[in-house]
Structure 1
């Protein structure tokens, strides 16, 4: 009886180990939602997750399967620079607005899902705001528009 129970326990532990290595890493890849802040562009209000740290900016919206119509992610950079974004492991197509330290949109780029194409700011950007594909175009928001409520640098 003891040998059967020992084999049963060994099999149970093996199953748990396989589950842990196979399922948990996939679950860990799901992005954790970050704290949000409201942003305003004219009459439009956005619920934006804030990516402040290197790790948060690197993860971005990777592995997300959907995003609400007025939801997005704002990336905050320590120093204004000619930053570029890409879509590695990003499952949904996005638009990105590159924004200077005063909140003015420098340029807007459309990004295809799961590509390594670089999309870059046309000037020194302090922020990048990712929204669902065509969000800026659909709202007629272009370079020169000002975004209010951006997190402090």
Structure 2
């Protein structure tokens, strides 16, 4: 009996560790400069592959304020996001290749409705719903794109050739 309980405990511990680690992606610090020149930082996991972008924040129940996920694409395009299997309310900013926030939308948990950018953009940044508003971040504000993120698109393009 005790051996069975101990074995179950270790199996549960392994599963929890595996799934929590498997979902985490590399992190970048993004700096957003508002119209009034305030600088706000967000720690963003980076989703650069199609698989990482498709998974996003699915099944994540806790996304702390000041953190998010940045989705990186190889080229500017109209982007569509949904909230399939995502229980946490999120806000999304669509960002062009120069780092200008073009749109900010709130998204509904578990919704299969697309949230579409109004212009061609290169990046999308998801954060806990209301975080942009709480920090006074609006369309037109600038995101400093780290050099490493600029390279993602180039590397992906080179892999296709």
Regarding TM over 0.5, the answer is yes
Q: Deviations over 1:111-144 (max 9, x none)?
A: 0111111111110110000000011111121111
* Structure index of larger Rg: 1
Q: Find the aligned partners of 1:63 and 1:30 in 2 and give their Cα distance.
A: 13
Match of residue 40 from structure 1: 31
Structure 2, gaps ≥5 residues long: 34-38, 154-161
**TM-score scaled by length of structure 2:** 0.76
TM-align CA RMSD = 2.4
Structure 1, gaps ≥5 residues long: 1-11
Q: Find the aligned partners of 1:117 and 1:140 in 2 and give their Cα distance.
A: 26
Q: Find the aligned partners of 1:135 and 1:61 in 2 and give their Cα distance.
A: 16
**TM-score scaled by length of structure 1:** 0.80
Q: Find the aligned partners of 1:29 and 1:132 in 2 and give their Cα distance.
A: 19
Q: Secondary structure at the match of 1:147?
A: strand
Question: How many pairs align?
Answer: 135
Q: Is the 1:31–1:59 Cα contact (8 Å) retained in structure 2?
A: no
Runs of 4+ in 1 over 2 A off after TM superposition: 27-31
Match of residue 54 from structure 1: 50
- From 134, 139, 145, the equivalent of 1:143 is 139
Q: Find the aligned partners of 1:62 and 1:104 in 2 and give their Cα distance.
A: 26
Question: Aligned runs of 1:118-133 on 2, under 5 Å?
Answer: 118-133=114-129
